[in-house]
């Protein structure tokens, strides 16, 4: 059994027991989180989507609030003696999926 959920502006395919990393959502480690925007649910080979999964939800627990890998980028303009180096670390929340409820 798996579900496709919408969280933090992206879609994730999850099963019970999975640990997913998604963009920062508010909450402290150990808190329960509920994903009510379920796009698709597959159970025993039957796929349900659209209006039939409006009442479905996925529950999980926040495991960790952390930062992702650092991404470096470098820009330059040729023949202009202009260059810039910078980096960014996205804020990440690790969530353990506990239950998929139809």
Instruction: Determine the straight-line distance between the first and last CA of the chain, rounded to whole angstroms.
Output: 11
pLDDT for residue 84: 97
Domain boundaries, the chain: 2-101
DSSP category for residue 8: T
Q: What is d(CA 62, CA 79) in angstroms, rounded to the nearest whole number?
A: 50
pLDDT of 16-28, one tens digit each? 999 999 999 999 9
pLDDT of 9-58, one tens digit each? 899 999 999 999 999 999 999 999 999 999 999 999 999 998 888 899 99
CA 65 to chain centre: 13
Confidence of residue 102 (pLDDT cuts 50, 70, 90): confident
* pTM greater than the 0.85 cutoff: no
Specify the pairing of strand 38-43 against strand 2-7: antiparallel
At 42 the three-state DSSP class reads strand
């Amino acid at each position: 059994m798996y579900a496709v959920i919408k969280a933090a502006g992206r879609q994730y395919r999850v099963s019970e027991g999975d640990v997913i990393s998604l963009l920062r959502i508010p909450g402290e480690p150990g808190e329960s989180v509920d994903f009510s925007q379920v796009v698709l649910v597959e159970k025993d080979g039957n796929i349900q989507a659209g209006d039939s999964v409006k009442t479905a939800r996925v529950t999980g627990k926040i495991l960790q609030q952390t930062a992702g890998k650092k991404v470096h980028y470098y820009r330059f303009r040729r023949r202009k003696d202009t260059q810039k180096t910078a980096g960014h670390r996205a804020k990440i929340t690790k969530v353990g999926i506990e239950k998929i409820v139809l």
